[in-house]
Amino acid sequence: MVEATGVSGYEGSVGKVIHEVFAAQTDQVTTDTLGNVISLKRGEGENRAKVMLAAHMDEIGLMVTKIEEKGFLRFISIGGVDQRTLVAQEVRVHGRRDLIGVIGMKPPHLLTPEDADKAIKMEDMVIDLGLTEEEVKAVVAVGDLVTVNRNLIPLSGDFVAAKALDDRAAVAAIYHCLSELCRMRHTADVYAVATVQEEVGSRGALVSAYHVQPDIGIAIDVCHGEMPGVPEQYTAPLGKGPSVALGANIHPKVYERLTELAKEHNIPFAIDPIPGPTGTDAWTMQVTRAGIPTGLVSIPLRYMHTSVETLSINDIKLTGRLLAYFVASVDRKFVEGLLCY
């Protein structure tokens, strides 16, 4: 999934990959008007509760704004891109066909000392495709998408680095949840949804939650993993299980159930207190239709929004397991209790 392309608003390619994966594990899969991939795995019995699991499949990226003389490309960002992570980066320009390019920079031999002290601005960068202007224009047009050319990098143990682990790691967690559920009894219907356009404003979750109309919506996203230079209070350790959020965006009973189940099944987790907006699909799901009780489970990830996002595969699996236990625990009674404050 992380090697597929799906910049916000253009999730088609990665959507196809996810559609296939979900199709193997669920009873039906559809893709809605905006591109959300919505699958349903039915529970047992009648009068079933509906749980929606949402993870966004879009990634941040770049868009071509101009083809310069000699075929160099100017670009802007889609989603929150730190311009400093783009320097000397190899990219993939998604034109009529994919082209490899380089966001180049002046060699140090030609730099003045003052130059070297300043971050290079995105507006001063260009993508070099190594082609003539005519060759470029035959393949690339203004509006084409650009992503960093990065394959998954296996690191020590179960750690991996890649682009777009935010938030395809969470789609993978849903995959694990569905696999677990194949071996478990559950009465609730599960809607596994890979949402679009989260990075530009959580738009996919909004319309897919409207469509699914779940009794409970759980967003699965990534949170900041511990790293030097970031206060510990904003981060969670890697390899020690998911973070379970609480705060205004989270229904207290959903939080309670998630953490109780984690304790019961010896799934390590961290508590992630978020007073205001969570910046995730949970934020929009919560105010869909007449209001939806929401939860948020996050996978700790370092270097968010760079092309070397790093996390523990085991955290993904633990997240999937916790979600499976949660789904299996949901019944009508629990859903009705969510209205009793």
Residue with tokens 């790691």, as numbered in its chain: 169
Establish how many alpha carbons lie within 13 A of residue 225's alpha carbon, considering only the half-sphere containing its beta carbon.
Answer: 25
Of the candidate residues 13, 19, 270, 279, the single one contacting another protein (CB under 8 A)? 279
Tokens found for residue 278: 């969570």
Cross-strand bridge partners of residue 53:
192, 218
Of the candidate residues 7, 40, 62, 81, the single one contacting another protein (CB under 8 A)? 81
Cross-strand bridge partners of residue 101:
91
**Site size toward another protein, by CB under 8 A:** 70
Cβ distance 321 to 181 under 8 Å? Answer: no
CB of 160 to another protein, least distance (A): 8
150 contact partners, CB below 8 Å, separation of at least 6: 2, 3, 90, 162, 163, 307, 308
The 40-59 contact track toward another protein, x by CB under 8 A, reads: --------------------
Cross-strand bridge partners of residue 98:
94
CB of 280 or CB of 288, closer to another protein: 280
Tokens found for residue 326: 């949660």
Among positions 232-251, residues that touch another protein (CB under 8 A) are: 234, 238-239
The 125-164 contact track toward another protein, x by CB under 8 A, reads: -x-xxxx---x------------x-x--xxxxxxxxx---
Asked if 83 interacts with another protein (CB under 8 A), we say yes
DSSP assignment string, 279-292: SSHHHHHTTSTT--
Strand, coil or helix: 311: strand
DSSP 226: P
Catalytic residues: 198
Residues lying near another protein in the complex (CB under 8 A):
68-70, 72, 80-90, 99-102, 104-111, 116-121, 124, 126, 128-131, 135, 148, 150, 153-161, 224, 226-230, 234, 238-239, 279, 302-310
